[in-house]
Structure 1
Amino acid sequence: MRLLGYADRLSVPAGGRVAVHVSSEHPEVGVSLVRLRRGGSPRHHVELVEESVASDLPTTVPGRVQRTTSGSFAEAQLRARLPDVGCALWFRPTAPTDEQRPLLVVGSLGLWCSADALELRDGDDVLARLEAHAVRGRWAFAAATVDAAGRVRLTLHRPGLPDEAVETTAAPVTVSERLLLGSDGVVRPGPGATFDGGVARPVVSRSWGPEVTEALRCGADPLALLDAGSTSALDLAADPGGVRVPDRGALTGGAAVHHLPTRGVPGPFWTGAERDFRPAPAEFDALHLHEDDLADAGWDVDATWTVPTDLPSGVYAVRLTAGDDVDRVPVVVTPARHGASVLLVLPTWTYLAYANWRTYAEYETERLGLYGEDRGIDERDRWLAAHPEFGRSLYDVHSDGSGVCYSTRRRPIVNIRPDYYTPTTCGFRHYAQDLLLLDWLERRGEHYAVVTDDEVEQQGTALLDRYRVVLTGGHPEYCSAGMLDSYAAYTATGGRLMYLGGNGFYQVTARHPGVPDALEIRRGHAGVATWVSDPGEEHLSATGEPGGLWRMRGRAPNRLVGVGFTAQGFDRGHGYRRSARSAEPDVSWVFDGVKAGVGEVVGADGPGLGGAAADEFDRADIGLGTPPDAAVLGSSVGHSHKIGLAPEEIDHGYAAPPPGVHPNVRADLVLFGLPGGGAVFSVGSIGWSTAMSHDGGDNDVARITGTVLDRFRDHDGPVAP
């Protein structure tokens, strides 16, 4: 891609400011502001609709290529010069390379490792080398000393294998300036030449004897062996949700932790007695570093937009143009005043979870089997596959095979674009799909406001309670405990919630306290997942809470919205067969203007996969928390064996599953009320809002949605059983 950009935020209140970062191979870039009315492209067979908006943005900015270097590491400044040096640490390589990678560098002196050897280097000079290596995935201990006379000793301990040591001589070494963990401090565009793997218990001090090396290997406190004033003993277990670690010694003032290495993970002395780092922090004292970790792309600012205080809430984009290249950097403007009665919450935490998902290009051949056809990919994904430095999604694994558990918005994100093509659904999903819902609201003249998951997480019921009706986007999968609490409190006190999607309120998620632009998950060992958490890594470093599914913590989505994730598949969409319950007087109004009667199917058509029941499905289940009096108005029918149950839905025990398509493979249309006048309407499928756009919006899916919205907004009495 010759032109791309990102903003420093995904949402901004009217009156706020947005910084825009641009990289271009063109000499000049045009800049303008547009309001996005509908997502699409010729490939989607739906036209993208945008309108120009006046702004204080510059009309052009000079073009220049901006580079990003990924890779996590820790950095501390030395408070004193050391005329002789000792250094040690535990390390666990997860992707050994033929070239040497830095483990611990202090001043010019460093411990480096490769797949074949361990070296002690002074700059480019190798002072000592062991033709031995740590075992991939296993902890090892390395130590090196250079005394005032230039005597050098390098030691490698690998549990279960013979110890290795070498002694040489060299010119004396004096170190100063900084200490680096996992990096040599050289900035190289692209994936960082950093160490991939775990590091723990780093120690730097004056030179010491072999007996100190042995004691450190056995877990002794370095400050009981060495002078604290000239020793660094970084406490990597402290504040795993932060971006600094303290130094228990006085040689540094603590270290900054860069680019979000995985934290709250077991170190070399983990006993397995605890899986939560909070009761035993000393056992969870490792950083897992990755060459493709990223917290911030680090580009310079090219333009700043000051949002007018009277700008209507909506979805906007900073439009960048150069030659034939166009990029639209998304920005949601949240309301300055809350005069609307309807609020749409865009699921930006889910957008970030999928941000720069690389599977389409990296596994294009494998997906032919999943789809049964060649659906092609968005060409931006091919570019993304060649640029691992721009970070991965929470569905990817790092280059060393470990799961990605942090995702940041401070980077170019190619799949949060109004014209992005998603092969999974033959077109629309996530951001581009949710713009179809905005288009529907606009077409019916609805007075609405738009916010994102960030505002719900930050403002809670103080925000939601200002609106008569709250709508979700198509896939609000990722959410925090506070967000669940806010939605539940909103409906319990009279709010009306329309859950217009599928696989929502599913995955335990938290904002990273040290890097508020980033989210964190831990997959755990349940649910549909492309990776699972390693032992002892199930708890979020941000909050300490267990990750995985809310369902496994007794908070299944059924308790909030009446339905919960049950199945997924991507062959084609289908419609919903009306239930007998849907014709009873207290709920039959939902189908006003719909010709299909009881037992007949609605919503069988639509763009993309076709049909309102498509992609991922939610069903009602009283055992999981669906209110007993909830009305199931319809259930999807016609699904094939290509639609698979979610792992947590698969039957256990000796009994054989029922023949044919499993009865739990379905999307349920559900309506229920709560004491105090609150109500919930849930559609049970990601595909619902895409189907609303069928035939220019003149279809039963859109008609049902509009009828429910009108009743929820305008009727003061109970609107649901």
Structure 2
Amino acid sequence: MRIVGYADRLSVRAGAKITFCVSSEHAAYRPEIVRLRRGGSERHGTALVEEPVEAGMPRTLPGRVQMTTSGSFAEAGPLGPADELGLAIWFLPTLLEDEARPLLAVGELVLEVSAAGIALRRGDAPQATLAVPPTERCWAFAAATVDTTGAVRLTLHRPGMPVAVATSAAVPEPVAGTLRIGSDGTTTGGLGRTFNGKVARPVVATTAWPEATTAALASGADPLALLDPDGTSALDLATDPGGTRVPDRGRLTGGAVIRHLPTRGVPGPFWTGAETDFRRAPAEFDALHLHDDDLADAGWEPDLTWSVPTDLPSGVYALRTSADGDVDRIPFVVTPARHEAPVLVVLPTWTYLAYANWRTYAEYETERLVIYGEARGVDERDRWLAAHPELGRSLYDVHTDGSGVCHSSRLRPIVNLRPDYFTPTTRGFRHYAQDLLLLDWLDRRGEHYAVVTDDEVEREGADLLSRYRVVLTGSHPEYCSAGMLDTYLAHTRAGGRLLYLGGNGFYQVTARHPGHPDCLEIRRGHAGVATWVSDPGEEHLAATGEPGGLWRMRGRAPNLVAGVGFTAQGFDAGYGYARSAASTDPSVSWVFDGVGAEAGEVFGTEGPGLGGAAGDELDRADVTLGTPADAVVLASSVGHSQKISLVPEEADHGYAAAPPGVHPKVRADVVLLGRPGGGAAFSVGSIAWSTAMTHKDGDNDVSRITGNVLDRFRDHPGPVLGEQ
């Protein structure tokens, strides 16, 4: 990608401003604002449709290459100059390499670790070394002192092992500079030269303390009981794990700033295991887990700020940047300045961020052949992404040290958040590009609608949704906060109508990071479909303190909101639905007006990508999980192969063998439910549904069913379950 960029937000209200950052290898490029009407490309078999918007853009802008350096660390100060110094820190390496990585530094004096051992250096000059290799994923304690004569002592404590000590003599020289944890302040571009692992209880003092003090610190003693607080830094890494600053219990610094979102709320070296919630034992959760590929903000300089016209229609737009045949479209949503439409579409941007820069396709292309049973290729942008690990990972990836990624930022180029992105999982459309198909479908119907994102729902809540008669979700609203769940439920309970047009929605506990509002946080816990699981004691989100994982495991299964919940997934094909006998009751039969399928007959067997309306990830009704007892199952998918598998939380337990063949829980249910006061929800049970709606330009049964429900929800004043 010779031209690529990102915006400072994913949505902007008409009348407000949005800023774009662009990196271009071309000397100049052309900026244009376009409205995105439909996703697609030649490879999708469906053309991308975009319309130019008169925006007063300059004809060209000068190009420049912008760089990012990732890697989390903390810094305070500057300190000094000091004629003598003591350094100490607990550390747990998660990736030891031949190249040394900084643990603790003051200016040029750096305590560092490698696969060979630990060392103290001043600039490039070694001061002392200990050729005692630490053990990966085991806590150790390192300390170093330098006195006024230049005498150096370096000590390594490993629980249960002999203490290692090295001494040397160096030229006396004052020490001054920024105090850093996990970094020495140097950058090389790309992945940061930062420590991979956990750090806890850093101590810096303007004294070369005696060996007895080192031993006491290694045993857990409070440094401020041993050292003069005026000359001591004891940064409290346990305080405010959702923030970006940590206080200094000593008086040597004014506290530290944490850069690039390390994992927090992490058990330290003195965790007893009696508590797993850091809020109940904060002193035991006093560690940071640093990674060289953590990223909160790519840090690019802005190239263009646009004032969105107040009268610009709500919809999905992009800054289209182009030069010599290279094109990138930086997407954003314009939300309405006035709420006048009867229909609201909520794009699941939190799910887009969860998958942002998912690296599986190019990095595990061979392994995915086993999943698919065929070669589906990759989008070439994924190959470019594989060469740029500094641009961050998705919440489905692991860091370079193998630990799970629990933060995702929108302040970076996101190559799979593009209208023409090709997703191998579905042979084309998924997420953002797929949700643009829904907007195209609405446009073809002549619907008057507005568009917002998860951010607006999370921020404005039920007050926003109450302004609309009907709310439509995107195809995969998987990641959501407690407030978002409350909002959707309150909307239907207050008489509003909800069309949940996807699958695997309302599933994963998610929170906005309070210290970095452009970032999301999750913890995987130990249930559900996951590419990683949380380490012991790390199940609680640092942002909120709440337990992470699945909403289902907290008694808030998606069925409570939408009548269906995640049950199975598979990517071999899409399948059809068999209409139920219950669907012929006059109170709900209007859903099938114009549809040829009678009870027991199958519809929805065609569509782009996987080839049917029931595919990708599937949801089903279950009264034991919260589906209302009076909800009507209108149809259920049929014909699935054994490649469609139950999700882990749906697996049968006990001694009884599973039923032969395809498990009966492997199905997608189409559900209609009413709420007191005229509210209602309609759920389709499948991610693939909205893609199938576009088959034959919308002339298909899946499209007709959706249109019937939308018309009824928008126009019918009384309860939607009833005769016409």
TM-score, scaled relative to structure 2: 0.99
1:440 aligns with 2:447: no
Which residue is 1:123 aligned to?
A: 123
- AA of the residue aligned to 1:199: V
Cα shift at 1:720: 2.3
4+ residue runs over 4 A deviation: none
Residues 393-434 of structure 1: per-residue CA shift (max 9 Å, x gap): 000000000000000000000000000000000000000000
Query: How far apart are 1:79 and its partner, in Å?
Result: 4.9
Describe how 1:240-389 pairs up with structure 2 within 5 A: 240-389=241-390
1:233 paired residue number: 234
Q: What SS class does the counterpart of residue 368 from structure 1 fall into? A: helix
The correspondence of residues 535-614 of structure 1 with structure 2, limited to 5 A, is: 535-614=536-615
Match of 1:707 in 2: 708
Pairwise CA distance, 1:283: 0.4
Aligned to 1:64: 64
Once the two structures are TM-superposed, the CA of residue 168 in structure 1 deviates from its matched residue by: 1.0
Partners of 1:337 and 1:86 in 2: how far apart? 61
Contact conserved, 1:80 with 1:230, CA < 8 A, in 2?
no
Deviation for aligned residue 1:480: 0.0
> What is aligned with 2:91?
91
Contact preservation (8 Å) 1:109, 1:121: yes
The correspondence of residues 91-240 of structure 1 with structure 2, limited to 5 A, is: 91-205=91-205, 206-240=207-241
Counterpart code for 1:381: D
The percentage of counterpart residues that share the same residue type is 72
Give the Cα separation in 2 of the matches to 1:682 and 1:513: 32
Q: CA deviation at 1:80?
A: 4.1
Matched, 1:615 2:602: no
Contact 2:112 2:120 in 1 (8 A): yes
Mapping for residues 456-475 of structure 1, pairs under 5 Å: 456-475=457-476
> How many Å apart are 1:82 and its aligned residue?
1.7
Deviations 1:48-71 (A, max 9, x none): 000000113322111111000000
> Could you tell me how far 1:107 is from its partner in structure 2?
1.8
- Where does residue 649 of structure 2 map in the other structure? 648
Describe how 1:41-80 pairs up with structure 2 within 5 A. Answer: 41-80=41-80
> What does the per-residue CA deviation read over 1:430-456, in whole Å, with 9 as the maximum and x for residues that have no partner?
000000000000000000000000000
Q: 1:318 & 1:344 partners in 2: Cα distance?
A: 21
Tell whether the 8 Å contact from 1:58 to 1:303 is kept in structure 2 after alignment. Answer: no
Unpaired runs of 5+ residues, structure 2, are none
Per the TM alignment, residue 160 of structure 1 is displaced from its structure 2 partner at its CA by 2.2
What whole-Å deviation, never above 9, does each CA across 1:521-547 have from its counterpart, x for those lacking one? 000000000000000000000000000
Partner of 1:486: 487
Secondary structure in structure 1 of the residue aligned to 2:432 = helix
Cα distance in 2 for partners of 1:401, 1:267 equals: 19
Contact 1:347 1:472 in 2 (8 A): yes
Judge conservation of contact 1:6–1:413 (CA < 8 Å) in 2.
yes
Deviates more, 1:52-61 or 1:403-412: 52-61
Say which SS state the counterpart of residue 36 (structure 1) adopts: strand
- Cα distance in 2 for residues equivalent to 1:587 and 1:57: 51
**Rounded Cα–Cα distance in structure 2 between residues aligned with 1:698 and 1:611:** 14
Query: Does the 8 Å CA contact 1:349/1:519 hold for their aligned counterparts?
Result: yes
Residues 339-369 of structure 1: CA deviation (Å, up to 9, x unaligned): 0000000000000000000000111001111
Contact 1:91–1:197, Cα closer than 8 Å, also in 2: yes
Q: Distance in 2 between matches of 1:234 and 1:57?
A: 48
Q: Which amino acid aligns with 1:25?
A: E
C-alpha contact (below 8 Å) 1:85/1:173 kept by paired residues: no
Tell me the distance in 2 between the aligned counterparts of 1:300 and 1:41.
30
In the alignment, which residue of structure 2 is the partner of 1:697? 698
The one-letter amino acid paired with 1:96 is: L
Distance (Å, rounded) in 1 between the aligned partners of 2:242 and 2:81: 31
> Residues of 2 paired with 1:218 and 1:81: CA distance?
29
Distance 2:80 2:171 in 1: 20
* Residue identity matched to 1:66: Q
Mean alpha-carbon deviation: is it higher for 39-48 or for 80-89? 80-89
- AA of the residue aligned to 2:378: I
Instruction: Confirm or deny: 8 A CA contact 1:78 1:251 kept in the other structure.
Output: no
Measured against aligned partners, the alpha-carbon deviations of 1:79-128 in whole angstroms (never above 9, x if no partner) come to 54321000000001001110111110012211011011210011111000
Q: Is the 8 A contact 1:142 1:157 kept in 2?
A: yes
Aligned residues: 721
For residues 244 and 612 of structure 1, what CA distance do their matches in structure 2 show?
Answer: 48
- Which moves more between the two structures, 156-165 or 667-676? 156-165
Partner secondary structure for residue 44 of structure 1: coil
Instruction: Give yes or no for contact 2:108–2:177 (8 Å, CA) kept in 1.
Output: no
Residues 29 and 60 in structure 2, CA contact (< 8 A), matched pair in contact too: yes
* Cα deviations by residue, 1:291-333 (Å, 9 ceiling, x for unpaired): 0000000000011111011100000000000111100000100
Whole-angstrom distance in 1 between the partners of 2:240 and 2:133: 31
Give, in whole Å, the separation in 2 of the partners of 1:79 and 1:558.
56
Q: Distance in 1 between matches of 2:60 and 2:602?
A: 53
SS in 1 for 2:371: helix
What secondary structure sits across from 2:375 in the alignment? coil
The one-character-per-residue Cα deviations of 1:190-239 (angstroms, maximum 9, x if unpaired) are 00011100010000002100010011001111001101111100000000
Residue pair 2:79, 2:106 contacting (<8 A) in 1 also: no
Q: Corresponding residue for 2:39? A: 39
Output the CA distance in 2 between the equivalents of 1:370 and 1:252: 53
Q: Matches of 2:79 and 2:247 in 1, distance apart?
A: 14
Q: Distance in 1 between matches of 2:567 and 2:66?
A: 44
Q: Could you tell me how far apart the structure 2 residues matched to 1:230 and 1:691 are? A: 68
* Separation of aligned partners in 1, 2:300 and 2:368: 34
Per the alignment, residue 449 of structure 1 pairs with: 450
> Given that residues 295 and 409 in structure 2 are in contact (C-alpha distance below 8 angstroms), is that contact kept between their aligned partners in structure 1?
yes
Q: Partner amino acid for 1:720? A: L
RMSD: 0.7
Please give the alpha-carbon distance, in whole angstroms, between the structure 2 residues aligned to 1:693 and 1:115: 56
1:396 aligned residue: 397
Shift of 1:172: 1.8
Secondary structure of the equivalent of 1:177?
Answer: strand
Name the CA distance, whole Å, in 1 between partners of 2:388 and 2:78: 34
**CA distance in 2 between partners of 1:691 and 1:435 (Å):** 13
Indicate if the aligned counterparts of 1:502 and 1:686 stay in contact, CA closer than 8 A. yes
Give unpaired runs (5+ residues) of structure 1. none
Quote how far apart the aligned CAs of 1:610 are: 0.7
**What is residue 429 of structure 2 aligned with on the other side?**
428
1:486 partner SS: helix
Secondary structure of the 2:274 match is: coil
C-alpha contact 2:108 2:184 (8 A) present in aligned 1: no
Contact 1:57-1:303 at 8 Å conserved across structures: no
